[in-house]
Structure 1
Amino acid sequence: MQSFISIGRRASWQSIYLGALALAVAALFFWPIFYMIAMSLRTAEDIMDTPLGLPLAPTLDNYRGVLSAMAYWRSIANTIVITVSTTLLVSLLSSLAAYPLARLRGLLSTLIYLFLTLGLTIPLFIGMTPLYILLRDLHLLNTYVGVIIAYTALNLPLGVFFYTSFLKSIPQELEDAAVIDGCNAIQVYWHVILPLLRPITGTIALFVTLSVWNDLVYPLLLLTDESKFTITVAVFRFLGTHNIDPTKLFPASVLGSLPMLILFFVLQRQIVSGISAGAVKG
């Protein structure tokens, strides 16, 4: 009996330690977000007096000025259009490319797969100059289409890698049964394969969305019209060359991060289940 009691006490202490560790890790991750929100509610005089203090008299005046200065709703709309279009294209094109690569066995398919996934090892800045020249010659600079093409090309290797690994675990008997029923290759892909790709598609969509939404390099490089700037560029414009106004930078950072935070809080269960299903299946 005493041994059972000691085991129970040991298990309870372990759960307490694990809970405390989880709280400490959560506090470590949430502290920058809390600090950003707290600083966005302070006046310039309050920040000058106590740079690391809490907002004693919170104010929303900072947000009112920043909303108009950064053309917030237009920047959000631009970012949503680019992000959603890129995510859909990456999901469709990479799954179409991965389907034959996962089913065909041979030297050619292996070489094509290695060539496509080689893009994962190439640093971003190496391809910037050729990409800029290519889009310039195609007259796609300062256009949504040009930015979407750039992001799609950047994320395609990741999609092909994930989809190919996932498709190899799907039994080919499902496709054979569909062929016997009279389906061609496109119909097999659309009606059989694509529904089975939902878990890994959610995982890829998450990675692509975060990559596109938080990127600053491509919009700065490929866009020159202020009406087409994304939210990261709108926030970046509050960084001065010689000085930084925290009453503008922190509210702009909060507004830029707010859509993604809301999305994660609303869809956290679906996101976690999609990642878990994709990881287990793959």
Structure 2
Amino acid sequence: MSGILLVIVTLIILLPVFYMLVSSVRTTADLGENPLGFPDPIAWGNYGDVFASLDYGRAIFNTALVALSSVALVVVTGSAAGWAIARHIRGWTKATYRLFIAGLTIPVFVLTTPLYLLMHTLHLLDTYLAAILVYASFNLPFAILFYVSFLRSIPQELEDAAAIDGCGPLKTFWHVVFPLLRPATATIAIFVTLSIWNDVVVPLLFLTSGGVRTVTLSVFQFVGTQNSIAAAQLFPAVVLAAAPLIVLFIIFQRQIIGGITAGIGKS
């Protein structure tokens, strides 16, 4: 019974995706005559038109650059801070940890105005660095929370053995601790990438020129700046924006699940 229910729920979730894919290769006239039908004829040219209109290659490059740079910054700083907090139980580390956790409770919209003013003062508006720093600041509290929870399930004896062998703190972290954090790192990297790829608020504020727009912002402005948009353009634009995420999840789904389950350790 549970298996049948699971299949039904899966089909319900996938039905809009299927409709989007089918509709993306239909003409506007075909959609108007029979919105729930199948392509007749198949209009593969829809993707070519939208690809050129979105400057898709440039938008994908911009998004990938911002996402990968933000992930690298979050992973390096989050793992190092999480290791220090998890292994050095002091009054100041507990206070620092609580401060980072408090950052998770602050709504993003509360921070956008001061961050915008800060980036304006630093002359970083409309640059990749502005978006990277903003995304890193938004995701760092979650990364520290996740890394601290994960590190508490790793025996400290491994680090003690490295210290006996003559490894300093930096060498111990990089060669002993960080490799053990791979499941957590993979999970954080995926979730941060997904959040950045789907976001339109930060690019809308900090990346306004066409040369640095992300793919989500390109689709948003492609749809929003026109008085009317044909369905034959709307559906391919949505598919092109979502396709890299779907591929990413399919490739790394085991790491996501493994990272979540492996992170369930000592509290």
TM normalised by structure 1 equals: 0.90
Is contact 2:152–2:266 with CA below 8 Å preserved after alignment? no
Identity of aligned residues (%): 47
Q: Which residue of 2 aligns with 1:29?
A: 13
Within the candidate set 92, 113, 137, 1:108 is matched to: 92
Structure 2 gaps of 5+ residues are none
Aligned to 1:98: 82
In 2, the alpha carbon distance for the partners of 1:82 and 1:166 equals 26
1:121 aligned to 2:121?
no
User: How far 1:155 sits from its partner (Å)?
Assistant: 0.2
1:59 to 22, 43, 56: 43
Distance 1:116 1:269, change over 3 A: closer
Of 223, 235, 239, the residue aligned with 1:250 is 235
CA distance, structure 1, for counterparts of residue 214 and residue 16 of structure 2: 23
| Distance in 2 (alpha carbons) for counterparts of 1:246 and 1:31 | 18
CA contact (8 A) 1:91 1:159 kept: yes
Letter in 1 for 2:131: V
Please give the TM-score of this superposition, normalised by the length of structure 2. Answer: 0.95
CA deviations 1:126-181 (Å, max 9, x no partner) are 00000000111111100001110000000000000000111122222111111111
Secondary structure of 2:224 counterpart: coil
Match of 2:26 in 1: 42
Residue number in structure 2 paired with 1:261:
246
Aligned to 1:69: 53
Q: Distance in 2 between matches of 1:129 and 1:78?
A: 23
Match of 1:188 among 172, 186, 189: 172
> How much has 1:57 moved relative to structure 2?
2.0
Q: Deviations over 1:220-251 (max 9, x none)?
A: 10012101100001111232365442111110
CA distance in 2, matches of 1:238, 1:48: 21
Structure 1 residue 53: Cα displacement:
2.6
1:142 to 121, 126, 135: 126
1:224 aligns with 2:231: no
The count of aligned residue pairs is 266
Q: Residue 262 of structure 1 aligns to which amino acid in structure 2?
A: V
The AA in structure 1 aligned to 2:244 is P
Q: Distance in 2 between matches of 1:280 and 1:252?
A: 42
